[in-house]
Amino acid sequence: MPRFLVTIRFDGTNYHGWQVQQNALAVQPVVQDALFQVLGVRPGITGCSRTDSGVHANMYCFHFDDTGSIPPQALVKALNTKLPEDIAAIGCAPVPTDFHARYSVRSKEYIYQIYNGTVRHPFYRNYSYYVNQSLDVDQMQQGAQQFLGTHDFSAFCAAGSSVADHIRTVLQARVERCGPLIRFVVCADGFLYNMVRIMAGTLVQTGLGKLSPRTVGEIVNSGRRENAGPTAPAHGLFLNRVIYPDGILQTAEIDTGFAKGWL
């Protein structure tokens, strides 16, 4: 059967991640329920990544096999009549039958958002990590540069990971401020369990003056989780872009406005 790649975005506040969970609401079964209402069958769907409870996605991709009875754009519109308001389909395209939403990924980009104001902002409570102490963004930016390149990121992997290989290549890492909002943007060929959240927690410690940018590099080289900072809260994290080989899915075709602006 033909294979299709669907792109969605979701607010993860009310969900226990993407993957099906026993006794907890996840994004995947909600999407499958919507597909069942549209297609009349409940297809198996394969996502591009696991996500933690409370994590959001500006661009999340999954594939499924179907007879292709509904044109891709019609499927997007139909899905959006069945999905809840905190999940939206934004694209659908046919892909080769050997395409895999997870294993065909070239790289992924995450954004971690921090609200750094003297008074907390209710509108950002589900979409940022509130830090009321002043953060030095220049120091955080210098610290983020220590992540660039190919390293063993064991120091930034939470306990419980089943992955044996902790070598990853970080292609981009930067910290930027817009008023009280601070964003850590990181793109890599792969990520470990809680890797971005531990990176963000470590950079917050750098911004507070508790770690130096040079120390961040030493933490990377140490390979020891206890040397890194705390794991930042899940609700500040967004999967922002999923990048596939040319010809599979051009990210320019997807409205990734969050990547260019601010929440």
52 noted as active-site residue: yes
| Strands 129-130 and 107-115, bridge-based pairing | parallel
Q: Is 235 helix (H, G, I), strand (E, B) or coil?
A: helix
Place of tokens 């999905």: 83
Instruction: Indicate which residue of 11, 33, 52, 98 is catalytic.
Output: 52
Could you tell me the two tokens for 110?
Answer: 């995450």
**Strand 237-243 relative to strand 56-65, pairing:** parallel
247 Cβ neighbours under 8 A, 6+ residues apart: none
Query: Quick count: other Cβ atoms within 10 Å of Cβ 29?
Result: 16
- Which distant-in-sequence residues (6+ apart) come within 8 Å of 164 by Cβ? none
Residue 177 has a CB neighbour count (10 Å cut-off) of: 15
Cα separation, 200 vs 251, whole angstroms? 25
Residue 216 contacts by C-beta under 8 Å, 6 or more apart in sequence?
Answer: 143, 144, 146, 147, 202, 203, 206
* Active-site amino acid positions: 52
